[in-house]
Amino acid sequence: ISNDQRIPADFVRHVDGDTTVLKIDGKEQKVRFLLIDTPETVKPKTKVQPFGLEASKRTKELLSNASEITFEYDQGDKTDRYGRALGYIFVDGTLLQKTLVSEGLARVAYIKEPNTKYLSELEQAQEQAKNESLGIWSIPGYVTQRGFSK
């Protein structure tokens, strides 16, 4: 996949740290960001988790201030079981997922082949955030294989 497979998109409305609504090809779509997970802020019956609000606020800030947003599908499933589009979001040419991971606001998660185009890049960013104890990595034992422990 090269840059020419990135689709211009417009920010419609904010949902949370790893989900947003974009207008893609003239159609409003709820989009779930591939390969990352941010702490919950809007999940029913779930308390707001540490760094969830920060992640949500940062996602909203990046998307609402973007000059250019582009969307890219990977090789595998284009939607999840909830009908959300699955893909990578680029804000002014920078992978949004990578920004969130490198700032310690998201963990690398939901790795499903073949949707792994940017996996190694995200894992490197995560290692660095972990080494610097940023955000979610500042709370010992908070990040687990299955999510967040609070």
For the ranges 4-8, 85-89, 106-110, the lowest mean pLDDT is seen at 4-8
Residues noted as catalytic: 32, 40, 84
pLDDT band at 3 (very low <50, low <70, confident <90, very high): low
Burial group, residue 123, by CB count within 10 angstroms (0-12, 13-18, 19+): middle
- Rg (alpha carbons) of the chain, rounded to whole number: 14
CA distances from 5 to 12, 19, 21, 72, 139 (A): 21, 21, 20, 6, 38
Q: What share of the chain is helix, strand, coil (3-state, %, to 5)?
A: 25, 30, 45
Q: How many other C-beta atoms lie within 10 A of the C-beta of residue 17? A: 28
The predicted structure's pLDDT at residue 1? 43
Residue 67: both structure tokens together: 């000059």
Q: CA-to-CA distance for 125 and 128, rounded, in angstroms?
A: 5
pLDDT at 29: 97
34-84: pLDDT as tens digits:
999 999 998 888 889 999 999 999 999 999 999 999 999 999 999 999 999
For the segment 89-145, what is each residue's pLDDT rounded down to a tens digit?
Answer: 999 999 999 999 999 999 999 999 999 999 999 999 999 999 999 999 999 999 998
pLDDT above 70 coverage of the chain, percent: 97
pLDDT of 150 > 80? The answer is: no
pTM, 2 dp:
0.94
Residue 40: predicted pLDDT: 92
pLDDT of residue 85: 97
Q: Do 118 and 73 touch, CB atoms closer than 8 A?
A: no
CA distance 130 to 91: 23
Tell which CATH architecture fits domain 3-140: Beta Barrel (2.40)
pLDDT of residue 43: 84
- In the chain, domain spans: 3-140
